[in-house]
A and B are shown apart, each in its own frame.
Chain A
Amino acid sequence: MTAGSNASPAQSPHRSPSAPEKQATLTVEGLAVRAGRRTVLRDVSLCVGAGEIVSLVGPNGGGKSTLLRAVIGAAKPAAGRITRRAATRLGYMPQKMAVDRTLPLDAAGFLGLGAPRASAADRIAMLDRVDVAHSARTQLSDLSGGEMQRVLLARALLRDPDLLLLDEPTQGLDHRGAARFYRLIEEARRERGLAVLLVSHDLDVVMRASDRVICLNGHVCCAGAPDQVCAHPEYQRLFGPGAAGRSADQDADGEAVEDAMAIYRHRHDHEREDGSARAGAAAGTPVA
């Protein structure tokens, strides 16, 4: 299954569809999205099949969230096509949800709003599934960042989706939490055969938990199996030669080295905060 293409000079919105498109849960062809005069995405093609976890990585402003927003219909394509298999149910987990403190709503009630047909017992069972059953009666505005992420995932899963879209789902989670989170997604994928398209900055975990990785920087820089993407020169230029556990020679390009240093500093901060938790999480993570 091809996961998009490298940016070609031809900007044709109607590129010939690839063969496995018929079965794909989500197909994006030649997508371009503009915000004002700025082109955020151009010539993006990809597909996500049932039972497949595809991760979007890339620098800030690379258009990852915009791509998800285009898929749900919140960003209008300037060119190209987004096709979902007929009768596809969407589950969407926003990057963040700011709930005003004046809105009294507990986690169980929040789930009910997303899946009105689910019984109270179903809601509790789903919250239990994502380890926050104890928060069922907690007001949304009192949830911790990690609990909120799990509650959002529970709402998305309770809708029994065919396509799950997750925008930085492990934001604000420590490494153990992030690993556990990906395990939940992995379980749901295995049991329900759903297609998952997610955005993440958590490169280490993404590379272990995804079937395919798409590196997005306004266009598709590179795409493929995690180890292929890690080895790709475009990816190494964006994330630095050592990204996701791979070592490579120093880049001669000054700017790229600077970017790489920023990533290193970032990673270093995490290790200093919870080095032990990270090691534990790494050991307990299923390798996809």
Chain B
Amino acid sequence: MSAILDDILLRAGLAGLGVALIAGPLGCFILWRRLAYFGEASAHAALLGVALGLLMGAPVWLGALAVSAAMALVVARAGLFSAGRATQGQIAGDGMIGVYAHGALAAGLVALSQMPGAPADPSRYLFGEILGVRISELALIWGAATALGLAMVWRWSALLNATLSPEMALAEGGAPDRESLGLTLAIAVTIALAMQVVGLLLVISLMILPAAAARALSSTPEAMALWSAALGAGAVALGLAGSFNYDAPSGPSIVLAAFALFCFATLAGPAIHAGIGRPREGEHP
């Protein structure tokens, strides 16, 4: 087994697959709740976590996770996704996310340049290094992705209800604020995992692009989640193959493959839907 896993490309493929399988379904919620900017900003802020991790001798993914989770908590505390919708500060919503995220990103870049010894090169974290994935990291990715996947299945309906209307979810006995916090923390974990695969600059694309591609092929939320996982996995395979053949950087190649799948699904989607949709039209009286 470990002999097989010595193959760099196979390790890279498995790491990408593990991340893609969870990034797609979470990406659906990012689209449905319009959290793209939040995700993007949290990912960029995670660079500060990388710097902190290096400074303290902790794993960089742990630092990235800590900072993006802190972003999630700050945003949740501000009530951005909450039924209570407490707007206490004077800067709300996207503006507030931007303030914290860019502050953290700048602090991260400065901290990396001030690193004792040789200054750390941020490009490794910004663009990913999937070909350098170690077996221990592979285990971490698959363990976390499995846990997140199970949690999503468990909370699926509650997450959808919190997405549709926090007030209605609350009235029906749910705890939409808690669900939303869980969702943002899951996004934070995925950012830390995907950092290795496509880098912090492109992390959110691995979540959004497969989900957007899946939209054109789906008429239920469950179908969209499954399609986005499948398309994300396809993008990893295509992107890695392309990167290997043309000696292109792997992270951007994966994202480019996801974009190609999005274009294909969007063009082919209406045709596929026309085939499924026709009998439905007939049901109308």
Contact = CB atoms under 8 A, between A and B. Distances in A.
Interface of A: 36, 69, 72-76, 90-94, 97, 99-100, 102-106, 109-110, 113-114, 116, 134, 137, 139, 155, 159, 165
Contacts of A92: 167-168, 171-172
Q: What are the 5 A-B residue pairs with the smallest beta carbon separation, nearest first? A: A92-B171, A72-B171, A74-B83, A102-B31, A103-B32
Interface in B197-241: 211-212, 215, 218-221, 223-224
Interface stretch (B42-50, B145-153, B157-165, B178-186): B157-165
B285 interface: yes
B121 interface: no
Interface in B79-96: 83-84, 88
B221 A94 contact: no
Contacts, number: 79
Given A75-B84, A100-B34, A165 B171 contact: yes
A68 to B, nearest CB: 9
B284 A104 contact: no
A113 B171 contact: no
B220 A105 contact: yes
Interface string B27-38: 010011110000
A105 B168 contact: no
Contacts of B160: 105, 113
B215 A102 contact: yes
Given A76-B84, A113-B161, A104 B215 contact: yes
Nearest to A74: B83
B117 interface: no
A207 to B, nearest CB: 26
Interface residues of B, number: 34
Contacts of B283: 134, 137
B167 A72 contact: yes
Interface in B270-285: 280, 283-285
B84 A105 contact: no
Contact of A109 (B33, B84, B168, B220): B220
B221 A104 contact: yes
B164 A99 contact: yes
A196 to B, nearest CB: 14
A74 B84 CA distance: 5
Contact of A103 (B172, B221, B284, B285): B221
A104 to B, nearest CB: 5
A101 B284 CA distance: 22
A104 B157 contact: no
A164 B159 CA distance: 23
A76 B164 CA distance: 22
A61 B88 CA distance: 19
Nearest to A76: B84
Contacts of A93: 168
A205 B69 CA distance: 50
Given A113-B157, A114-B172, A106 B167 contact: no
A53 to B, nearest CB: 18
B163 A103 contact: yes
B212 A110 contact: no
Contacts of A74: 83-84, 166-167, 170
23 contacts: A69-B83, A69-B167, A74-B166, A90-B172, A92-B172, A93-B168, A94-B167, A94-B168, A103-B31, A103-B164, A103-B221, A104-B215, A104-B223, A106-B219, A109-B220, A110-B164, A113-B160, A114-B168, A114-B172, A134-B285, A137-B280, A139-B219, A155-B168
B116 interface: no
Given A109-B220, A110-B164, A113-B161, 18 more contacts: A90-B173, A92-B172, A94-B168, A100-B32, A102-B211, A103-B31, A103-B163, A103-B164, A103-B221, A104-B221, A105-B164, A109-B221, A113-B160, A114-B168, A134-B284, A139-B219, A159-B172, A165-B171
